[in-house]
Chains A and B, each alone.
Chain A
Amino acid sequence: MPAPDPDARDAARAARGDTRAFERLYVAHAARVQTLARRMVGRDLADDATQDVFIHAWEHLGQFRGEARFGTWLHRLAVNLLLRRAEVARRITARIAPGTIEELHAPSSSPETRMDVDAALARLGPGLREVVVLHDLEGYRHEEIADVLAISVSASKMRLHRGRMLLREWLRP
């Protein structure tokens, strides 16, 4: 029998408008959401994105049915929101100045300098970053990634490999 969800009671209370219960949920899950946001949209936008995720979760608590654990529900909600946010940011940047994304994401240091993981992830192109983050950093399986990104399992595998091959170049010591 699966262990009971420790957040179920607070989730039900928060759904009734109890902000103290929602604060406890925030304390329990904020670090994971913040880390996910930093990996998906970058360090500069991570704070705002985390805030948006929790406000979005508050507004949609009525949809939490308790079928999955609250942490799993929140994580999936965060991934979907962050994917949309990253896509919007990409479209805006591309419309303002096509080609700017690569320049913005290009390493500021010389090629000889070791790039950190954040900069390397930011440099990955559309589609690759999400798959690498979800698989290698958030522990999603290819089937789950395929579901979230609406792509095939083989596309997910291919993107992961392409992403890792690029990171291999950029993260080389």
Chain B
Amino acid sequence: MTTPRDRDHEGQDRLSEYLDGLLTETETRSLEEHLRGCERCRSVLAELRVVVDRLHADPTDSVSSDAWPRIERQLGTRASSAPASYMIEARTLRRITAVASLLLTFAGGIWVGAVLYVAGPQWWPGWMHVGARQSTARPSPDLGSLRESLAAVNRELAAAETALTNQPATPGLQDAVQQLRRIQLRLQAVLDSLNTAQRMRDSQPATSKAPRAGQTP
């Protein structure tokens, strides 16, 4: 049965939340008011602080030097079964080839855009200046989409390369791998160029970032 005295200490259940700063302002004020007059709860709170401090002081372990060779041996024995998802089927090959063709076209367009972006407004065609004047800023390629595309290419390439290792005679697979490798290199180069351009642009004064109206090659 709950006695009036127990009810006095009901706030004790929330001491951890108080310790972690998770109570609302009102709850905090109410608990602190109780703590001021309750030695028992103050004592529990102090002990909980000690517990948390001891847990936080728990060190990170070191790893024994023979651990990796043991794991590596397991990787070797499981190599054929591990990438089960990489075993290629006819429809997977069709998907890889389709993705490769699509991305090759896409990456070509991005490549031209990125080169122009890095080169600067003096090399832009007229229609880009019109768009830039309207937006008062450089047309910024979507870095997020490019990264996602690169991740997608990496995944497809991983699947295709592993499948090629396991089933080298699969017709069309060699071409798909080569296409994907070209796209991967191209996308990576575009991303690197854009990152460099972005850094250079960020380091320039704000007034020089927007293209000047009427600037021609």
- Residues of A bordering B, CB below 8 Å: 12, 15-17, 19, 22-23, 26-27, 30-32, 34-35, 38-39, 46-47, 50-51, 54-55, 58-59, 62, 65-66, 117, 132, 136-137, 142, 157-158, 160-161, 164-165, 167-168, 171-173
Contacts and interface: CB of A to CB of B under 8 A. Distances in A.
Contact of A15 (B14, B74, B158): B158
Interface string B47-61: 110111011101111
Dominant SS among interface residues on chain A = helix
Given A31-B61, A31-B62, A164 B151 contact: no
A157 B72 contact: no
Nearest to A30: B63
A17 B63 contact: no
- Most chain A beta carbons < 10 A, residue from B22, B58, B64: B58
Interface stretch (B33-41, B79-87, B104-112, B132-140): B79-87
Interface stretch (B24-32, B113-121, B159-167, B207-215): B159-167
Given A35-B60, A168-B51, 13 more contacts: A12-B154, A16-B162, A19-B75, A23-B68, A31-B62, A34-B61, A50-B67, A55-B71, A59-B83, A164-B52, A171-B51, A172-B47, A173-B50
Contacts of A142: 22
A157 B55 contact: no
B161 A137 contact: no
Contacts of A157: 16-17, 22
A157 B14 CA distance: 9
A157 B13 CA distance: 10
Nearest to A66: B151
Contact of B48 (A50, A54, A164): A164
Contact of A35 (B14, B50, B61): B61
Interface of B: 13-17, 22, 44, 47-48, 50-52, 54-56, 58-64, 67-68, 70-72, 74-76, 78-79, 82-83, 85-86, 147, 151, 154-155, 157-159, 161-162, 165
Nearest to A173: B50
Contacts of A26: 68, 71
Contacts of B61: 31, 34-35, 38, 46
A117 B63 contact: no
A15 B155 CA distance: 8
A40 to B, nearest CB: 12
Contacts of A161: 13-17
Nearest to A32: B60
